């Protein structure tokens, strides 16, 4: 390859989490933009809002709101890179063009993108930090749920650090080494410390609190400056 050469890249469908950006534009709710450049933006998702629609004409999800935001300002499209559970709040990375989507999806696969969380879990953890290594698979009796050593289980690794405790719960900082569906919720329930407000995995849930899980940070390579 020499200076002045023209390189053509062909983007394949499997390079994308969502190959075509066809989200219905929805401007009924403003989005909380934490960071934005020419290629991407980081948005703070509220709990109780789905990350993405499940059908082509569905609206009222975060990706619909991001599409509405971009359509009003730059006529760009939103490409999903990763998800948060509907009940989870926090930072979500969204690509603004096909090339950025492919690169960010690749960074997510090779774990260049780092995702950190904070959660309040029930009870007092005995150690100051730890790692949970328990495979997660499908629950054969409930399609929405996941379970340790479930059907088609995959390796799952969660690192945690204790921040503080109160009378009956603990605040922990969490980093994911893998990204399985409901990973944090399943792992902490499995070690006897389910997340406060978890209606799916906390058997003591009584409806008096939201899910106390928040995506506090997302670390990535800045595509424009090649900096983290």
Could you tell me if 120 and 211 lie in one domain? yes
pLDDT value at residue 13: 59
pLDDT value at residue 4: 75
Could you tell me if 126 and 100 lie in one domain? no
The DSSP letter of residue 84 is -
Give the structural domain span for 55: 13-110
What does the alpha-carbon distance between residue 93 and residue 113 come to, in Å, rounded to a whole number? 10
Final residue in a domain of this structure, among 110, 137, 161: 110
End-to-end CA distance of the chain: 28
Beta bridge partners of 122: 169
Could you tell me if 105 and 17 lie in one domain? yes
Could you tell me if 20 and 82 lie in one domain? yes
**How many C-beta neighbours within 10 Å does residue 143 have?**
7
176 closest CA partner among 86, 89, 100, 84: 84
Could you tell me if 74 and 125 lie in one domain? no
pLDDT value at residue 2: 76
pLDDT value at residue 41: 95
User: Is residue 175 a part of any domain in this protein?
Assistant: yes
Q: Where are the alpha helices (DSSP H) in the chain?
A: 62-73, 98-109, 183-190
Final residue in a domain of this structure, among 79, 110, 141: 110
What does the alpha-carbon distance between residue 226 and residue 7 come to, in Å, rounded to a whole number? 20
Could you tell me if 161 and 183 lie in one domain? yes
Could you tell me if 143 and 123 lie in one domain? yes
Could you tell me if 73 and 160 lie in one domain? no
The model's pTM is 0.86
Cβ contacts of 145 within 8 Å, gap of 6 or more: 138, 139, 182, 200, 201
HEC per residue, 116-151: EEEEEEECCCCCCEEEEECCEEECCCCCCCEEECCE
Task: Provide the Cα torsion 149, 140, 181, 161; round to 10°.
Answer: -40
CATH number, position 100:
3.30.2350.10
Could you tell me if 124 and 70 lie in one domain? no
- pLDDT mean by block of 10 residues, the chain; 228 residues: 71 60 89 94 96 92 96 89 94 93 90 94 97 98 96 97 96 95 98 97 89 95 63
Catalytic residues: 85
Final residue in a domain of this structure, among 110, 130, 161: 110
Could you tell me if 126 and 182 lie in one domain? yes
Could you tell me if 92 and 170 lie in one domain? no
Domains in the chain, number: 2
Could you tell me if 19 and 84 lie in one domain? yes
14 closest CA partner among 77, 102, 104, 99: 102
**How many C-beta neighbours within 10 Å does residue 14 have?**
7
pLDDT value at residue 110: 87
């Amino acid at each position: 390859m020499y200076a002045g050469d023209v390189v053509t890249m062909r983007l394949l469908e499997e390079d994308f989490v969502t190959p075509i950006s066809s989200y219905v534009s929805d401007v009924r709710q403003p989005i909380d933009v934490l960071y934005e450049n020419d290629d991407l933006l980081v948005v703070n998702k509220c709990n109780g809002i789905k990350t993405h629609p499940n059908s082509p004409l569905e609206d009222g999800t975060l990706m619909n709101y991001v599409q509405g935001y971009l359509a009003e300002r730059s006529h760009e499209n939103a490409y999903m890179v990763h998800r948060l559970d509907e009940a989870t709040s926090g930072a979500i990375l969204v690509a603004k063009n096909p090339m950025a989507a492919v690169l960010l999806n690749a960074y997510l696969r090779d774990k260049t993108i780092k995702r950190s969380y904070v959660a309040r879990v029930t009870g007092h953890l005995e150690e100051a930090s730890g790692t949970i290594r328990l495979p997660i698979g499908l629950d054969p009796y409930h399609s929405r749920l996941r379970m340790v050593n479930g059907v088609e289980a995959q390796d799952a690794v969660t690192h945690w650090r204790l921040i503080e405790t109160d009378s009956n719960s603990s605040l922990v900082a969490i980093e994911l080494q893998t990204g399985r569906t409901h990973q944090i919720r399943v792992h902490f329930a499995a070690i006897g410390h389910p997340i406060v407000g978890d209606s799916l995995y906390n058997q003591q849930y009584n409806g008096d609190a939201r899910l106390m899980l928040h995506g506090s940070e997302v670390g990535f390579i800045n595509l424009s400056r090649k900096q983290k």
